[in-house]
């Protein structure tokens, strides 16, 4: 990429940001990201990363577009819902239109312990777009085991939260939350509702953190669990050293990866 190339012109406004610069953009163009779930969180993250110039996106989701998705999920329209298109198929088509140089691989599967290595083994960062803690704990075990950065997030009602997990540098998800919460205190969007603004806002934070990692700016990665409620206008940044439940974590200290076991 040179200052006269079309790609330089396309990304000139973010290249002009000095902490990122041309070397950051070049690193981004080589970057490889796995997005697990392309619903509310994952669809926004995928769009932002494609527009920013990430070189490779692998999208994993087994769902099809539904009319109830459209109020909070990027990339999809009423035609996709009417045709019940696979989300990964509809998303990939739109992403290639945003950035034709981005390689988009769509995988119409549900991530589990049997396929996680094949899906995550060749990427630099994993982004959580899931809607359940069982899959998140599986991702946490795999990423800690393999030393791969991943970005956790969730949204419900008008609330959202996010944390960057850098194995060996930060606590893991199981340091912050020893067990997945039971379903009765882990409400999903059908039961509790969700605002698209909360989803899009926290996905923007996820995308920014992924860009920092891909550009090699690990020192700038967030050391906080970020939480906000757009309805009540509250924002919290809780430092990992305050949140960590134990330095004796079964996952990152004792390296027991129970969520990867049959």
185 pLDDT more than 70: no
Percent of the chain with pLDDT over 70: 92
189 pLDDT more than 70: no
Mean pLDDT of all residues in 15-36? 96
Percent of the chain with pLDDT over 90: 79
178 pLDDT more than 80: no
Query: Which residues, 6+ apart, have CB-to-CB distance to 106 below 8 Å?
Result: 59, 86, 88, 89, 91, 92
143 in catalytic set: no
Of the candidate ranges 1-5, 130-134, 190-194, 235-239, the one whose mean pLDDT is the lowest: 1-5
182 pLDDT more than 70: no
- Please say whether the beta carbons of 137 and 259 come within 8 A: yes
Mean pLDDT of all residues in 77-85? 94
Write the pLDDT tens digit of every residue in 1-21: 665 677 789 999 999 999 999
Query: Which residues, 6+ apart, have CB-to-CB distance to 184 below 8 Å?
Result: none
Mean pLDDT of all residues in 199-210? 97
CA distance 244 to 54: 32
61 pLDDT more than 70: yes
pLDDT computed for residue 184 by the predictor: 44
CA distance 106 to 89: 6
- According to CATH, the superfamily of the domain at 18-260 is NAD(P)-binding Rossmann-like Domain (3.40.50.720)
Q: How many residues does the chain have?
A: 262
pLDDT computed for residue 12 by the predictor: 94
pLDDT band of residue 167 (cuts 50, 70, 90) is: very high
Which residue of the set 143, 172, 175, 189 is catalytic? 189
pLDDT computed for residue 181 by the predictor: 62
Mean pLDDT of all residues in 10-34? 95
139 pLDDT more than 80: yes
Give residue limits of the domains in the chain.
Answer: 18-260
> How much is the mean pLDDT over the chain?
91
For the entire predicted model, the pTM comes to: 0.93
180 pLDDT more than 80: no
240 pLDDT more than 90: no
């Amino acid at each position: 990429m040179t200052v006269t190339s079309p790609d330089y012109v396309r990304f000139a406004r973010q290249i002009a940001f000095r902490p990122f610069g041309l070397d950051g953009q070049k690193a981004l163009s080589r970057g490889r990201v796995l997005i697990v779930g392309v619903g509310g969180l994952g669809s926004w993250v995928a769009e932002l990363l494609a527009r920013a110039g990430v070189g490779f996106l692998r999208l994993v989701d087994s769902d099809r577009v539904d009319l109830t998705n459209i109020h909070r999920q990027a990339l999809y329209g009423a035609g996709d819902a009417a045709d019940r298109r696979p989300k990964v198929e509809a998303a990939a088509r739109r992403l290639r239109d945003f950035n034709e140089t981005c390689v988009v691989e769509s995988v119409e599967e549900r991530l589990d312990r049997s396929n996680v290595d094949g899906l995550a083994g060749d990427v630099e960062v994993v982004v959580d777009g899931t809607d359940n803690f069982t899959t998140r704990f599986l991702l946490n075990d795999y990423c800690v085991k393999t030393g791969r950065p991943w970005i956790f997030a969730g949204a419900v009602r008008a609330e959202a939260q996010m944390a960057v997990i850098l194995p060996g540098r930060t606590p893991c998800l199981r340091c912050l939350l020893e067990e997945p919460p039971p379903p009765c205190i882990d409400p999903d969007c059908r039961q509790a509702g969700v605002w698209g603004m909360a989803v899009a806002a926290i996905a923007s934070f996820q995308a920014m953190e992924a860009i920092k990692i891909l550009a090699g700016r690990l020192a700038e990665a967030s050391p906080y669990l970020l939480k906000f409620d757009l309805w009540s206008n509250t924002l919290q940044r809780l430092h990992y050293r305050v949140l960590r439940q134990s330095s004796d974590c079964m996952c990152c200290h004792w390296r027991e990866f129970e969520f990867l076991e049959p």
